Structure 1
Amino acid sequence: MAEKTYPMTLEEKEKLEKELEELKLVRRPEVVERIKIARSYGDLSENSEYEAAKDEQAFVEGQISSLETKIRYAEIVDSDAVAHDEVAIGKTVTIQEVGETDEEVYMIVGAAGADAFAGKVSNESPIGQALIGKKTGDTATVETPIGSYDVKILKVEKTA
Protein backbone atom coordinates (compact mmCIF):
# COMPACT_ATOMS: atom_id res chain seq x y z
CA MET A 1 0.00 0.00 0.00
CA ALA A 2 1.38 3.40 -0.97
CA GLU A 3 2.19 5.89 1.77
CA LYS A 4 0.14 9.07 2.01
CA THR A 5 1.79 11.97 0.22
CA TYR A 6 1.78 15.53 1.47
CA PRO A 7 1.31 18.01 -1.38
CA MET A 8 3.14 21.27 -0.68
CA THR A 9 5.14 24.00 -2.30
CA LEU A 10 8.92 23.94 -2.18
CA GLU A 11 8.77 26.89 0.23
CA GLU A 12 6.50 24.93 2.59
CA LYS A 13 8.90 21.98 2.55
CA GLU A 14 11.86 24.25 3.29
CA LYS A 15 9.93 25.77 6.22
CA LEU A 16 9.26 22.28 7.61
CA GLU A 17 12.95 21.38 7.23
CA LYS A 18 13.96 24.48 9.22
CA GLU A 19 11.40 23.66 11.91
CA LEU A 20 12.74 20.09 12.09
CA GLU A 21 16.31 21.35 12.38
CA GLU A 22 15.29 23.67 15.24
CA LEU A 23 13.60 20.78 17.07
CA LYS A 24 16.56 18.44 16.65
CA LEU A 25 19.38 20.89 17.30
CA VAL A 26 17.83 23.18 19.92
CA ARG A 27 14.65 21.89 21.56
CA ARG A 28 15.68 18.23 21.90
CA PRO A 29 19.01 19.02 23.64
CA GLU A 30 17.26 21.54 25.92
CA VAL A 31 14.76 18.90 27.03
CA VAL A 32 17.49 16.31 27.59
CA GLU A 33 19.32 18.82 29.79
CA ARG A 34 16.12 19.52 31.79
CA ILE A 35 15.68 15.79 32.33
CA LYS A 36 19.27 15.50 33.60
CA ILE A 37 18.77 18.39 36.01
CA ALA A 38 15.43 17.02 37.25
CA ARG A 39 17.01 13.58 37.82
CA SER A 40 19.61 15.19 40.03
CA TYR A 41 16.82 16.20 42.44
CA GLY A 42 16.56 12.60 43.59
CA ASP A 43 13.36 10.55 44.05
CA LEU A 44 11.68 10.39 40.61
CA SER A 45 8.35 9.15 42.00
CA GLU A 46 7.46 12.61 43.34
CA ASN A 47 9.54 14.75 41.00
CA SER A 48 7.21 17.08 39.08
CA GLU A 49 10.10 18.70 37.17
CA TYR A 50 11.14 15.28 35.89
CA GLU A 51 7.57 14.40 34.84
CA ALA A 52 7.14 17.74 33.07
CA ALA A 53 10.46 17.33 31.23
CA LYS A 54 9.55 13.77 30.16
CA ASP A 55 6.16 15.01 28.90
CA GLU A 56 7.89 17.75 26.93
CA GLN A 57 10.34 15.21 25.53
CA ALA A 58 7.45 13.05 24.30
CA PHE A 59 5.85 16.10 22.69
CA VAL A 60 9.07 17.18 20.95
CA GLU A 61 9.77 13.64 19.71
CA GLY A 62 6.21 13.43 18.36
CA GLN A 63 6.69 16.70 16.48
CA ILE A 64 10.00 15.47 15.07
CA SER A 65 8.43 12.21 13.90
CA SER A 66 5.50 14.03 12.30
CA LEU A 67 7.75 16.49 10.46
CA GLU A 68 10.09 13.74 9.26
CA THR A 69 7.11 11.88 7.79
CA LYS A 70 5.74 14.98 6.05
CA ILE A 71 9.16 15.81 4.62
CA ARG A 72 9.86 12.22 3.53
CA TYR A 73 6.53 11.96 1.70
CA ALA A 74 6.38 15.56 0.47
CA GLU A 75 4.99 15.94 -3.02
CA ILE A 76 6.27 19.24 -4.38
CA VAL A 77 3.58 21.01 -6.37
CA ASP A 78 4.65 23.40 -9.11
CA SER A 79 1.90 25.99 -9.52
CA ASP A 80 3.45 26.95 -12.88
CA ALA A 81 2.48 23.51 -14.20
CA VAL A 82 -1.23 24.40 -14.17
CA ALA A 83 -3.08 27.07 -16.14
CA HIS A 84 -2.45 30.59 -14.85
CA ASP A 85 -6.13 31.03 -13.93
CA GLU A 86 -6.60 27.57 -12.34
CA VAL A 87 -6.72 27.16 -8.56
CA ALA A 88 -3.91 24.96 -7.25
CA ILE A 89 -1.53 24.74 -4.32
CA GLY A 90 0.73 27.77 -4.49
CA LYS A 91 -1.94 30.07 -5.92
CA THR A 92 -3.73 33.02 -4.31
CA VAL A 93 -7.48 33.12 -4.92
CA THR A 94 -9.92 35.99 -4.58
CA ILE A 95 -13.49 34.79 -4.05
CA GLN A 96 -16.88 36.24 -3.26
CA GLU A 97 -19.73 34.38 -1.64
CA VAL A 98 -22.69 34.37 -4.06
CA GLY A 99 -25.14 37.07 -2.99
CA GLU A 100 -22.56 38.95 -0.90
CA THR A 101 -20.36 41.95 -1.70
CA ASP A 102 -17.28 41.26 0.43
CA GLU A 103 -14.28 39.65 -1.24
CA GLU A 104 -12.02 37.15 0.50
CA VAL A 105 -8.45 36.30 -0.45
CA TYR A 106 -6.86 32.94 0.34
CA MET A 107 -3.53 31.32 -0.41
CA ILE A 108 -3.97 27.63 -1.21
CA VAL A 109 -1.30 25.58 0.56
CA GLY A 110 -0.65 21.98 1.50
CA ALA A 111 -2.00 20.84 4.86
CA ALA A 112 1.40 21.36 6.48
CA GLY A 113 1.37 25.07 5.61
CA ALA A 114 -2.18 25.92 6.64
CA ASP A 115 -2.61 29.02 8.81
CA ALA A 116 -6.14 30.41 8.85
CA PHE A 117 -5.04 33.62 10.60
CA ALA A 118 -2.62 34.35 7.75
CA GLY A 119 -5.20 33.50 5.06
CA LYS A 120 -3.47 30.23 4.15
CA VAL A 121 -6.01 27.46 3.61
CA SER A 122 -5.19 23.81 3.09
CA ASN A 123 -6.03 22.00 -0.09
CA GLU A 124 -7.72 19.46 2.23
CA SER A 125 -10.01 22.03 3.91
CA PRO A 126 -13.62 22.35 2.71
CA ILE A 127 -12.88 25.59 0.87
CA GLY A 128 -9.61 24.23 -0.54
CA GLN A 129 -11.32 21.09 -1.83
CA ALA A 130 -14.07 23.17 -3.44
CA LEU A 131 -11.65 25.54 -5.18
CA ILE A 132 -8.86 23.23 -6.41
CA GLY A 133 -9.07 22.77 -10.18
CA LYS A 134 -11.59 25.59 -10.70
CA LYS A 135 -10.79 28.65 -12.80
CA THR A 136 -11.43 32.38 -12.75
CA GLY A 137 -15.15 32.98 -13.29
CA ASP A 138 -16.20 29.53 -12.01
CA THR A 139 -18.59 29.03 -9.12
CA ALA A 140 -17.73 26.44 -6.48
CA THR A 141 -19.85 24.89 -3.74
CA VAL A 142 -18.14 24.76 -0.36
CA GLU A 143 -19.43 21.87 1.77
CA THR A 144 -19.05 22.39 5.53
CA PRO A 145 -20.36 20.42 8.51
CA ILE A 146 -23.05 23.07 9.06
CA GLY A 147 -24.13 23.43 5.44
CA SER A 148 -22.96 24.51 2.04
CA TYR A 149 -22.54 27.81 0.25
CA ASP A 150 -21.49 28.93 -3.22
CA VAL A 151 -18.55 31.17 -4.03
CA LYS A 152 -17.51 32.82 -7.28
CA ILE A 153 -13.82 32.83 -8.17
CA LEU A 154 -12.91 36.39 -9.09
CA LYS A 155 -9.16 36.11 -9.54
CA VAL A 156 -6.41 33.47 -9.41
CA GLU A 157 -2.74 34.47 -9.17
CA LYS A 158 0.53 32.78 -8.44
CA THR A 159 1.43 33.37 -4.79
CA ALA A 160 4.40 35.73 -4.60
Structure 2
Amino acid sequence: MAYMSQEGYDKLVAQLHELEAVERPKASAAIAEAADKGDLSENSEYDAAKEAQAHLEAKINNIKLTIAQAKIVDTSRLSTEEVQIMSKVEMTNLATKKKMTYTIVSESEADLKKGKISIHTPIAQGLLNKKVGDIAEIKIPRGTIRLQIDKISIGE
Protein backbone atom coordinates (compact mmCIF):
# COMPACT_ATOMS: atom_id res chain seq x y z
CA MET A 1 0.00 0.00 0.00
CA ALA A 2 1.29 3.47 -0.86
CA TYR A 3 0.22 6.19 1.58
CA MET A 4 0.12 9.62 -0.01
CA SER A 5 -1.48 13.02 0.12
CA GLN A 6 -4.47 13.95 -2.05
CA GLU A 7 -2.16 16.33 -3.94
CA GLY A 8 0.32 13.53 -4.65
CA TYR A 9 -2.47 11.24 -5.82
CA ASP A 10 -3.91 13.92 -8.11
CA LYS A 11 -0.45 14.54 -9.64
CA LEU A 12 -0.05 10.82 -10.37
CA VAL A 13 -3.47 10.65 -12.04
CA ALA A 14 -2.58 13.71 -14.16
CA GLN A 15 0.79 12.19 -15.09
CA LEU A 16 -0.91 8.93 -16.11
CA HIS A 17 -3.40 10.83 -18.26
CA GLU A 18 -0.55 12.75 -19.95
CA LEU A 19 1.36 9.53 -20.68
CA GLU A 20 -1.67 7.71 -22.06
CA ALA A 21 -3.24 10.59 -24.02
CA VAL A 22 -0.12 12.34 -25.35
CA GLU A 23 3.04 10.25 -25.00
CA ARG A 24 1.58 6.88 -26.06
CA PRO A 25 0.27 8.22 -29.43
CA LYS A 26 3.66 9.91 -30.02
CA ALA A 27 5.44 6.59 -29.42
CA SER A 28 3.11 4.77 -31.82
CA ALA A 29 3.65 7.45 -34.46
CA ALA A 30 7.44 7.17 -34.08
CA ILE A 31 7.25 3.40 -34.59
CA ALA A 32 5.04 3.79 -37.67
CA GLU A 33 7.36 6.43 -39.12
CA ALA A 34 10.44 4.25 -38.54
CA ALA A 35 8.69 1.20 -40.01
CA ASP A 36 7.97 3.12 -43.20
CA LYS A 37 11.71 3.44 -43.77
CA GLY A 38 12.08 -0.11 -45.02
CA ASP A 39 13.80 -3.31 -43.85
CA LEU A 40 13.04 -3.72 -40.13
CA SER A 41 15.94 -6.14 -39.54
CA GLU A 42 18.49 -3.36 -40.04
CA ASN A 43 16.45 -0.39 -38.91
CA SER A 44 17.99 1.02 -35.71
CA GLU A 45 15.44 3.85 -35.65
CA TYR A 46 12.63 1.27 -35.49
CA ASP A 47 14.41 -0.65 -32.69
CA ALA A 48 14.92 2.56 -30.72
CA ALA A 49 11.26 3.56 -31.15
CA LYS A 50 10.10 0.10 -29.99
CA GLU A 51 12.41 0.29 -26.96
CA ALA A 52 11.13 3.78 -26.08
CA GLN A 53 7.56 2.48 -26.31
CA ALA A 54 8.42 -0.44 -23.99
CA HIS A 55 9.86 2.00 -21.41
CA LEU A 56 6.76 4.18 -21.70
CA GLU A 57 4.43 1.21 -21.18
CA ALA A 58 6.44 0.08 -18.14
CA LYS A 59 6.16 3.60 -16.67
CA ILE A 60 2.40 3.65 -17.32
CA ASN A 61 1.99 0.25 -15.65
CA ASN A 62 4.03 1.35 -12.60
CA ILE A 63 1.90 4.46 -12.17
CA LYS A 64 -1.31 2.43 -12.55
CA LEU A 65 -0.07 0.02 -9.88
CA THR A 66 0.82 2.87 -7.51
CA ILE A 67 -2.60 4.47 -8.05
CA ALA A 68 -4.35 1.13 -7.45
CA GLN A 69 -2.44 0.65 -4.19
CA ALA A 70 -2.77 4.27 -3.06
CA LYS A 71 -4.27 5.10 0.30
CA ILE A 72 -4.90 8.81 0.67
CA VAL A 73 -3.94 10.09 4.09
CA ASP A 74 -6.54 12.27 5.80
CA THR A 75 -4.19 14.92 7.22
CA SER A 76 -6.90 16.21 9.56
CA ARG A 77 -6.65 12.94 11.51
CA LEU A 78 -2.87 12.96 11.85
CA SER A 79 -1.19 13.59 15.17
CA THR A 80 1.80 15.81 15.86
CA GLU A 81 2.72 13.75 18.94
CA GLU A 82 5.22 11.62 17.03
CA VAL A 83 6.78 11.46 13.57
CA GLN A 84 4.78 9.56 10.94
CA ILE A 85 4.10 9.79 7.21
CA MET A 86 3.09 13.35 6.25
CA SER A 87 4.90 14.75 9.30
CA LYS A 88 6.93 17.91 8.78
CA VAL A 89 9.90 17.52 11.10
CA GLU A 90 12.13 20.37 12.18
CA MET A 91 15.37 19.11 13.68
CA THR A 92 18.92 20.02 14.59
CA ASN A 93 21.99 18.06 13.56
CA LEU A 94 23.78 17.84 16.92
CA ALA A 95 27.26 17.59 15.36
CA THR A 96 26.98 20.65 13.11
CA LYS A 97 24.18 22.53 14.97
CA LYS A 98 22.57 22.91 11.54
CA LYS A 99 18.78 23.18 11.48
CA MET A 100 16.89 21.22 8.84
CA THR A 101 13.28 20.51 7.96
CA TYR A 102 11.89 17.54 6.06
CA THR A 103 8.39 16.34 5.30
CA ILE A 104 8.08 12.55 5.18
CA VAL A 105 6.08 11.46 2.14
CA SER A 106 5.45 8.45 -0.09
CA GLU A 107 8.10 7.35 -2.59
CA SER A 108 6.18 8.87 -5.51
CA GLU A 109 5.91 12.29 -3.81
CA ALA A 110 9.55 12.59 -2.72
CA ASP A 111 11.24 15.79 -3.92
CA LEU A 112 14.40 16.76 -2.05
CA LYS A 113 14.39 20.28 -3.52
CA LYS A 114 11.06 20.85 -1.78
CA GLY A 115 12.24 19.17 1.44
CA LYS A 116 10.07 16.09 0.88
CA ILE A 117 11.85 12.81 1.61
CA SER A 118 10.59 9.30 0.98
CA ILE A 119 9.45 7.30 3.96
CA HIS A 120 11.86 4.60 2.75
CA THR A 121 15.01 6.72 3.23
CA PRO A 122 17.29 5.99 6.21
CA ILE A 123 16.62 9.45 7.68
CA ALA A 124 12.82 9.04 7.51
CA GLN A 125 13.04 5.53 8.94
CA GLY A 126 15.18 6.82 11.81
CA LEU A 127 12.71 9.61 12.60
CA LEU A 128 9.52 7.52 12.60
CA ASN A 129 7.74 7.35 15.96
CA LYS A 130 10.12 9.87 17.59
CA LYS A 131 8.71 12.71 19.69
CA VAL A 132 9.77 16.34 20.19
CA GLY A 133 12.99 16.38 22.22
CA ASP A 134 14.01 12.86 21.16
CA ILE A 135 17.39 12.28 19.56
CA ALA A 136 17.45 10.02 16.52
CA GLU A 137 20.73 8.26 15.77
CA ILE A 138 20.64 7.40 12.08
CA LYS A 139 23.15 5.40 10.07
CA ILE A 140 23.81 6.98 6.70
CA PRO A 141 26.51 6.11 4.13
CA ARG A 142 28.96 8.61 5.72
CA GLY A 143 28.48 7.28 9.26
CA THR A 144 25.95 8.02 11.99
CA ILE A 145 24.20 11.34 12.46
CA ARG A 146 22.38 12.50 15.57
CA LEU A 147 19.28 14.57 14.99
CA GLN A 148 17.28 16.23 17.76
CA ILE A 149 13.58 16.59 16.99
CA ASP A 150 12.64 20.26 17.57
CA LYS A 151 9.09 20.39 16.18
CA ILE A 152 6.55 18.12 14.49
CA SER A 153 3.74 19.52 12.37
CA ILE A 154 1.60 18.23 9.53
CA GLY A 155 3.28 18.67 6.15
CA GLU A 156 1.61 20.30 3.23
CA distance in 2, matches of 1:103, 1:25: 44
Structure 2 counterpart of 1:19: 15
Query: Is it true that 1:37 corresponds to 2:33 in the alignment?
Result: yes
Matched pairs, number: 156
Query: Aligned AA for 2:42?
Result: E
Name the % identity. 37
Q: Secondary structure at the match of 2:144?
A: strand
CA distance in 2, matches of 1:107, 1:151: 15
Query: Is it true that 1:99 corresponds to 2:95 in the alignment?
Result: yes
Per-residue Cα deviation, 1:63-105 (whole angstroms, up to 9, x for no partner) = 0010011110112223332322432222221111123221111
* Contact residue 10 and residue 77 of structure 1 kept, 8 A: yes
Gaps of 5+ in 2: none
- After superposition, where does 1:64-83 map in structure 2 within 5 Å? 64-83=60-79
Query: Aligned AA for 2:152?
Result: V
Structure 2 counterpart of 1:119: 115
Gaps of 5+ in 1: none
* Contact residue 135 and residue 147 of structure 2 kept, 8 A: yes
Query: Aligned AA for 1:137?
Result: G
* Contact residue 78 and residue 154 of structure 2 kept, 8 A: no
- TM-aligned CA deviation for residue 146 of structure 1: 4.2
Query: Aligned AA for 1:149?
Result: I
